[in-house]
Structure 1
């Protein structure tokens, strides 16, 4: 008899073979299977799924987070029901999912400089150089931190001035073009890296103090320390500044420049979506609602347009 754990493992292998990374869903499903095993359950039931989704390891009471956990089980249950008719698929409306995107912290140019200066105090020297380069790279390209961590040396072409993001989120790849000043900084980093790490243990462009790739999960702790060292604080009631917010800084700065230059922002948003690796422009449109300055510029643009109805 095939166990629930074996079927979950087969399911995860199949999903990954089809291109899904399952960085969050994989661990969640494994946790759910362990939850079932501890209760001696051989089949997935709605009650078990709801109990697991709402009893989070960190005691989170966030309803959206719990609903997402339940979604992981629901998708698996749909697959499993064809193999095990006793499987129950949790209903979609059992947990509220009032999704709310929290506005990002938008670092000022001076704050980005302060973060890079704080990175200079890290030891050993290669760690300081890597962090200074990572912060600057995220701020001027808008790539995801995980994408920067996984960049291979061959992905960074400093002669052509391009960076290729290969098989990133949603299985998409894209090409980023670098400003000449960014190329200079990356060349300086590559020189320092090769001097201090002549035989690194990884082929990634950015390396840690042991010559290995940066860990996208662990670097969040170092960045939090740099935020404190730089004297950056979020306004009361707002989420603490994150490394990922540097991506938002790039997106917002790009759109602000377009508005100020009089460009047709709506027509250019798909370009920015492609650059950022968004699956569709809807994710990019969110910035217009989340950032007051962008919204004010958009409204001002509309108010300056002639009333077409009056002209007709």
Structure 2
């Protein structure tokens, strides 16, 4: 399924019957205007629902009012046969349940076909994280590249320091504006998932790196369309997530033995080191912007696993 034109409804691009296309277009408007979701989340929801409706259409359905649990289960089963990961299947099942609930609530369907649709349990894997010495080596490697005072070098140090100091998401980092940073109080205002705002502190090294970037690096990259973006690309536009990932991978490649992590790996690292340093789980939840404490609790497993590894390596009767 190709990319739709900017004003073309997702449903039309999916090649659906007119009735299904109209419902999906209404659902898109609902997500954008009433749910206040990010564009990325809306695209993901619509893509999953459109794929399910295409499957239903192939089975003979021409309207959402005829959807049934058997059809939804056969679609998920097909996804599994295609080798989709458990986490992907769980996400798609959730997207469909939200859609069928909305269709039932708005009178478009007499029953909620997805109410009993189960989700495969995802295998919870421990997120990779750097050791404290590896994190220090990463930041030192970036500092070496900034020794010549180049604006990109200063920017890279600042963004790496901020990712590690705050644990913010890469999208949150790229969305920062100059006035989101309170350097006097050493806190940054972040707009997270669901447009929820939170304030996250950062330390002295990040403050120094930010000062160097804002006063000596950023002015040399500013262009007409820079706006108030805190971090800029080489052409002066707001830095995008792909560029940040490139920076993280490139600098980590210079740290011997370090795992190849992306920006999200630095988020995991920050959370792990906070807990290892004695921070309580609730505080880490607030800092990371997790809606559920259960999401944050995975980092306790990371620290416990490190403790077990240290015990096995050090205790003579382990």
Say yes or no: TM over 0.5. yes
- Correspondences of 1:163-242 after superposition (within 5 Å): 163-166=188-191, 168-199=192-223, 201-202=225-226, 203-217=228-242, 219-234=244-259, 241-242=261-262
Q: Name the SS for the 2:277 alignment partner.
A: helix
When normalised by structure 1's length, the TM-score is: 0.74
The answer as to whether partners of 1:165 and 1:175 remain within 8 angstroms in 2 is yes
- What does residue 67 of structure 1 align with? 90
1:186: Cα distance to partner? Answer: 0.5
**Cα RMSD (Å) of the superposition?**
3.5
Query: 2: CA distance between counterparts of 1:19 and 1:197?
Result: 33
Work out the CA distance in 1 between the residues paired with 2:250 and 2:256.
10
Report if the CA contact (8 A) 1:151-1:206 is conserved: yes
For the pair 1:5 / 2:29, whether they are aligned, the reply is no
Query: Gaps (5+ residues) in structure 2?
Result: 1-16, 309-318
Partner of 1:153: 178
Worse-superposed segment, 20-29 or 65-74: 20-29
> Taking structure 1 as reference, are residues 256 and 67 closer, same or farther at Cα in structure 2, changes over 3 Å only?
closer
TM-aligned CA distance change 1:205 to 1:294, over 3 Å: same
1-structure distance, mates of 2:263, 2:29: 31
> What is the Cα deviation at residue 8 of structure 1?
2.1
Q: What aligned pairs does 1:34-45 form with structure 2 within 5 A after superposition?
A: 36=53, 39=57, 41-44=61-64, 45=67
Contact 2:232–2:238 under 8 Å retained in 1: yes
Shift of 1:47: 5.4
Question: Are the equivalent residues in 1 in contact too, given 2:127–2:265 (CA < 8 A)?
Answer: yes
SS at match of 2:189: strand
Shift of 1:2: 6.4
- Residue of structure 2 equivalent to 1:307: none
Question: Helix, strand or coil: the match of 1:105?
Answer: coil
In the TM superposition, residue 169 of structure 1 has moved relative to its aligned partner by 1.5
2:265 aligned partner: 245
Paired with 1:177 and 1:67, the residues of 2 have a C-alpha distance of 34
The answer (yes or no) to whether the contact 1:158–1:183 under 8 Å persists in 2 is yes
Conserved in 2, the CA contact under 8 Å of 1:43 and 1:86?
Answer: no
Question: Is the alpha carbon distance of 1:88 and 1:253 closer, same or farther for their aligned partners in structure 2, counting shifts above 3 Å?
Answer: closer
C-alpha distance in 1, partners of 2:24/2:256? 46
Number of aligned residues: 281
